[in-house]
Amino acid sequence: MSLFKNRTVVGVICILLSLLICFGVTPLFNQSVSQKTEIVRVVKEIKAGEEVTREMVQTVEVGGFGLPDNVLRQSESVVGKYATADLSVGDYILNTKLSDTPAAENTYLYNLDGTKQAISVTIKSFANGLSGKLQSGDIVSVIAPDYKKQGSTVIPAELKYVEVIAVTAGSGYDANQRDAGPNSPSASDERELPATVTLLVSPEQSKTLAELEADGKLHLSLVYRGTPANSAKFIEAQDKVIAALYPAEPDSASKSQEPEESTASEAPAESGVQ
């Protein structure tokens, strides 16, 4: 009789649990599944390091169940930021996949203010680029063998002190900033050799570098590696040389105004003589 009573109690408990699940838990679960929320979804493929624009994303309504807490829900929190990973069409965006600043490997390109330019030159051989030892911030001299087909090897005066802003491998990733992004080859055990060096130069320097690049003959020698303050002293000295070599032309607008100003000043004198 005690065993029968125990089975009855167990049965009643099971029935009560079933009723609780059917009429309590299940409605709550269905409600959470059916609850809608807005998220930001990718509509155009975004590459790592790329700036997100409004054309790349849209806000859509989806079921809120199972969404990560850090999923972004407003386009304003996405547009203008930079992707830290590749994003495919249909992906929702987590805040961990965006950065307020460009990837480290591209930062130097966003610091250009119009006074200087970035130009890359090819490293023709392992020795030409200091055996892969160059780094961002280095001050180098550009050596030109058979300069202007004159048979002499010189360091052009305008290229005595030039700042390195990037050293790039053949894959397109910066060789000296290998941990800049999740898709960089930093996980590889084999270090990539640099293929190009990007230099920060004036327009006059860029023309000379383009000529040397076309001739396929240039070497880079390391002048200084150290603090930015000391590097700036080398660049300041180089800027003075460039200013002396390429004096600024007088403003054409001021030239055109000179005759008009002299005519205007002479007019009262002429009228006074009459």
Number of Cβ within 10 Å of residue 138's Cβ equals 23
pLDDT at 5: 57
Pick from 212, 207, 204, 200: which is nearest to 143 by CA? 212
* Global confidence as pTM: 0.55
Phi, psi of 174 (to 5 degrees): -70, 125
Residues 77 and 202 both lie in one domain: no
Phi, psi of 137 (to 5 degrees): 95, -15
Q: Are strands 139-143 and 162-169 parallel, antiparallel or unpaired?
A: antiparallel
Residues 81 and 131 both lie in one domain: no
Is residue 115 within 8 A of residue 203, CB to CB? The reply is no
pLDDT, the chain, mean: 78
Burial of 204 (0-12, 13-18, 19+ CB in 10 A): middle
Point out which residues pair with 83 in neighbouring strands.
Answer: 98
pLDDT band at 44 (very low <50, low <70, confident <90, very high): very high
The DSSP secondary structure of 70-132, one letter per residue, reads: TB---GGGTTT-EESS-B-TT-B-BGGGEESS--GGGGGGGG--SSSEEEEEE--STTTTGGG
Residues 120 and 235 both lie in one domain: yes
- What average pLDDT score do residues 73-98 get? 89
**Is 266 part of any domain?**
no
Residues 61 and 180 both lie in one domain: no
pLDDT band at 261 (very low <50, low <70, confident <90, very high): very low
**Pick from 53, 73, 99: which residue ends a domain?**
99
**Is 262 part of any domain?**
no
Which sign does the torsion angle of CA 106, 107, 108, 113 carry? positive
Residues 192 and 73 both lie in one domain: no
Pick from 153, 156, 187: which is nearest to 173 by CA? 187
Point out which residues pair with 18 in neighbouring strands.
Answer: none
Residues 157 and 223 both lie in one domain: yes
Residue 77 lies in domain: 34-99
Residues 162 and 39 both lie in one domain: no
**Is 256 part of any domain?**
no
Top pLDDT among 188 and 160 is at 160
> How many domains is the chain built from?
2
**Is 114 part of any domain?**
yes
Residues 115 and 205 both lie in one domain: yes
CATH number of the structural domain spanning residue 47: 3.90.1210.10
- What average pLDDT score do residues 36-46 get? 90
Calpha distance 213→144 (Å, rounded): 10
Calpha distance 233→231 (Å, rounded): 5
pLDDT band at 57 (very low <50, low <70, confident <90, very high): very high
Which sign does the torsion angle of CA 208, 210, 212, 217 carry? positive
Calpha distance 227→12 (Å, rounded): 80
Q: Can you tell me which residue has the tokens 């790349």? A: 56
